[in-house]
Chains A and B, each alone.
Chain A
Amino acid sequence: MSSSTKWVKSGTSVPAPQTRACWPPATVRLAGSAALEGKGQLRFTSGRWSPHHNCTQVATANDTAVRGWDTRSMSQIYCMENAHGQLVRDLDFNPNKQYYLASCGDDCKVKFWDTRNVTQPVAALEEHSHWVWNVRYNHSHDQLVLTGSSDSRVILSNMVSISSEPFGHLVDDEDLSDQEERRPEDKSQEPPQDGVIATYEEHEDSVYAVDWSSADPWLFASLSYDGRLVINRVPRALKYHILL
């Protein structure tokens, strides 16, 4: 069952309806609603299903805060206040690691959170020079993080230390032949580092959307305001490094 979320903007504090669409799209009915308490004009700017909790958890971005909701009781689980200085533009969950999610916003940063400890981000990236509009984890290798920003750049980052394979691909000793036994020593001597893998500057205007291909885990696309769609690959060296 695939799931998608539509994000709806609402200008008042009236309970904001959330809709869920699921196959088959015969009927769409309101499954539950939750109210956002608070002063001022609160809005839901973005939302995402958590892939881990059997479709019971949703995370939403509300202006500057990120909240998590339990759909069974429609109550708030966690809230990261003031995640980004001005506005949180997008969220994404780590497909392999529970409790980890990434958010990006108008302070030009991408922050990675552990939902069990919401006071402080686990990591932060500050590579962009203007608002970051999208952040996406690679579906299978969660150390690859893609971000698109209105400074017309797409940046592919390697967040190994907080991924599900911080030490690279570990192999059992019995599976190795004599020749291959030497390689883990090589790899263990140089653990992969966090950092920017590549910056793609083919766009001339703000990049508003980036995403990974669901067919090939090494392809991604980015879309900018001037109508340009650019499709890129992960550099080959890194791909083999991750695979082997």
Chain B
Amino acid sequence: MSVPRGAVHAKWIVGKVIGTKMQKTAKVRVTRLVLDPYLLKFFNKRKTYFAHDPLQQCVVGDIVLLKALPERRSKHVKHELAEIVFKVGKVIDPITGKPCAGTRFLENLSDSENLTEADTTYLSEKLQELKVCSTN
């Protein structure tokens, strides 16, 4: 029976980088939800994986996607870096594509810079109409 990819069970995993002190290798912590048999509640269970990162582009705190290698690269390294999902400090919201920090966007979302003269005059006229004038 051929094993096309992965001498390891986990083919694609998402984790957080906790160490980059090794050359071209990132230490990644992966959490999975495991059911406690008595409380019947899910808790995070951590496991650390080592991933091959040839360009050393990971920083501690990145969220990365790891892909299983077809065969083990060394005694502990069985995965490689597929993609950095969220770069620490430079998170990009995938829905809008804009950089954000926490629950707010970093740059102005409205396109007020691209408005032409005609647009601004039209908008100011509309605003004048909306102004409620007090009549005695």
A and B associate in one complex:
no
Residues of B bordering A, CB below 8 Å: none
